A and B are shown apart, each in its own frame.
Chain A
Amino acid sequence: MIRLDNVSKVYKGQTVALRDVDLEIAKGEFVFLVGPSGSGKSTMIRLLNKEETPEQGSVWVAGKEINKLPRWRVPQLRRNIGCIFQDFKLLTNKTVYENVAFALEVIGRPRHVVRTQVPAILDLVGLGAKTDNMPDELSGGEQQRVSIARAFVNRPLILLADEPTGNLDPATSAGIMRLLDRINRTGTTVVMATHDRSIVDSMRKRVIELDTGRLVRDQHRGVYA
C-alpha cells in the first residue's frame, strides 16, 4: 500500500528532515511513527499526503509513484487518504454534520450519498446525537471524533494521523485509539505519528522509529522505545 525507496527530504536552510529512508507498509496495517521532535515523523506524513515532495527517492501510495504525480491529479490521490491532526482543523462556523458533509460536498458527491453516509459515520464515531452542535460546544475528544468522521466518511484506503491524541487526556486518548483500531479493522491502513508512550505500548502494533531523519527501528508488535 505504501512504499518509500531511498527517500530524503531537505528543507530550505539545509535542514535534513528525512535521510535515505526505505520502508514498506502493507494494506490494512496499523503503524506507529515514533521519535523525538524534529525526527521527521510529520515530514513523512506530509510526503505520503503529497503536501511535500522528496529531494531524492520515490514514494509509492496505492500503486502510484506520487512524487511524479502531476499537480492536477493530487486531489484524486487525496480522496484515498484521510488525515487527522492534533488541532482537529474543524470549521468553527459549521455544525458537526456540516463539517463531515463538507468533505463529501467539495469532492462532488451527490446529495443522497451525503444524506446517508454522514449520519452513518457520525453514529460510528459515537456522535449521532450531536449532529447539530457547533465544534466549540464539544469536548476535545468529541472534536477529534468529528475530525476522524470527516477523514473516514469517504472510506479512504489510508488514514494518516499526526499526533491525534496530542491535545487529549489519557482516557479520551484511549477512546480515540479504540476508534482508530476499529477503523483499521475495516481494512484501512493507519499510519499514526505519536509521542504517546502509553498508547504505543498498550496497542503493540508495528513501530517505526525515526531519529534525525533516519529510520532507526522497524519493529512488529513493538513498544515505544
Chain B
Amino acid sequence: MAFKPEYIVRETATNLTRNLTLTAASIITMFVALVLFGSAWMFRAGTENGTQQFKDGVEFIVFLDPQITGEQFDSINAELSGHPDIDDIEFVSKEEALEQFLVWYGDEPELRDAVTVDIMPPSFEVKPREADPLLVESLADQFRGRAGVFRVETARETTETIVGIADAAQRWMFWGSAAALVGGALLIFNTVRVAMFARRREIEVMKLVGASNWYIRLPFVLEGLVHGLVGGILAVFSVRFLRTSLEDDVLDSQAQLFVQFFVTDGQVNGTSIVVLAVGAAVGVACSAFAVGRFLDV
C-alpha cells in the first residue's frame, strides 16, 4: 500500500497541535538538553585545540625570587644561556611582569590594588631545543629549589590544569545534558502516549478497516521526530550563537591565551550534525517505543 504523504503530514500536524502545551514542553526540554550536549561537545573540541597549541610550543618559566641577589641572577642567567638543550630565553623584568598583570587583571580593582612592582617576580621564559615533555620536565627540575628561584612552571603543568578543569566541566555538562535528555525523552514518550489516547477511537476504526500498522504508527513516530528535531534545530542556533559570542568576548578582551581554544567552522558544523542526530534519534526512539508499547495493532 502506497503511503499518502498529505495524509501523514496532516495527521502528524494534528497530533502536534492537539496538545500544544505538551508539545511545547517536549520541544523546550529537548532544546535545553541539546544546548547542554552541544556546548559540551564543542567545549571538548575547544579543549583539544587548546591542548594541541600547548603541545606545539612546550616551554617553561623560571620565576625568580623578587629579592634575588645579583650573583644568584647572573648564575642562573649564565646557566640558562649556555645550556645545550635550551634554544632561547627571554627575561621578563618586575616592571614588565606588573605590566602584563595589569593587562590581564586591570579591570579588577581588588587584584590591581593588591600588587606592587616589588612583589612581582621577574622571570625567564625558556624555549627548549626540542618540545619533548620529558626534556622540559628534566630541564625544569634542574632549576627547581635553586637559590634565587621562586618557582618553575612548565607549560605542561598549566595545560594539565586547564585540561583537568575542562574535563571536569565537560563531565558535568554531559551529565547535565544526559539528565535533561532523559527528561525530554520521557516527555516525548508521554506526549505521544497522550496523543494516542486522544485518538483511540480513530485508531480503533483504522484497525477495523484494515489500515496497515505503519500507516497507523507513522504519524505518532513523526510527532516524536519533530519534537527532537525542532529542539535540535533551536539548540544548534543557540550553540552557534554561544560560540560567536564567546569568541567575540575573548577577542575584545586581553585574554588572548584563550584564542588557542577557539573551535573551527568544521568543528561547529560537526557539532551541529551530532546535535541534530541525537535530537532526531531520541525523538524517534521514544515515540516508536511508546507506539510499540501502547498501540496494539
Contacts and interface: CB of A to CB of B under 8 A. Distances in A.
Interface of A: 49, 71-72, 75-81, 83, 89, 91-92, 102-103, 105-108, 150-151, 154
Given A108-B2, A108-B215, A89 B204 contact: yes
Given A80-B210, A89-B204, A106-B216, 4 more contacts: A75-B210, A75-B213, A77-B210, A150-B209
B142 to A, nearest CB: 77
Contacts of B249: none
A153 B213 CA distance: 21
B213 A72 contact: yes
Contacts of A107: 1, 209-212, 215
B201 A106 contact: no
Interface in B176-234: 201-202, 204-213, 215-216
- Most chain A CB inside 10 Å of its own CB: which residue of B2, B207, B216: B207
Interface of B: 1-4, 7, 201-202, 204-213, 215-216, 297
A79 B210 contact: yes
B210 A108 contact: no
Contacts of A78: 207-210
Contacts of B215: 106-108
A103 B210 CA distance: 8
Contacts of A72: 212-213
B4 A102 contact: no
Nearest to B205: A89
Contacts of B208: 49, 78, 83, 89
Contacts of B212: 72, 75, 107
A103 B205 contact: yes
Contacts of A102: 202, 205, 209
Contacts of B205: 89, 91, 102-103, 150
A106 B209 contact: yes
Contacts of B202: 91, 102
B31 to A, nearest CB: 31
Contacts of B1: 107-108
B19 to A, nearest CB: 15
B258 to A, nearest CB: 58
A91 B198 CA distance: 12
Given A78-B208, A89-B201, A89-B205, A105 B4 contact: yes
| Nearest 8 interchain pairs by C-beta | A79-B210, A78-B210, A106-B211, A108-B1, A103-B209, A75-B210, A75-B212, A106-B206
A108 B215 CA distance: 9
B201 A105 contact: no
A63 to B, nearest CB: 17
A75 B212 CA distance: 5
A72 B216 CA distance: 13
Contacts of A154: 209-210
B195 to A, nearest CB: 14
Nearest to B6: A111
A154 to B, nearest CB: 7
Contact of B210 (A71, A76, A92, A150): A76
20 contacts: A71-B213, A72-B213, A75-B210, A75-B213, A77-B210, A78-B207, A78-B208, A80-B210, A89-B205, A91-B201, A91-B202, A91-B205, A102-B205, A103-B205, A106-B215, A107-B209, A107-B215, A108-B1, A108-B2, A154-B210
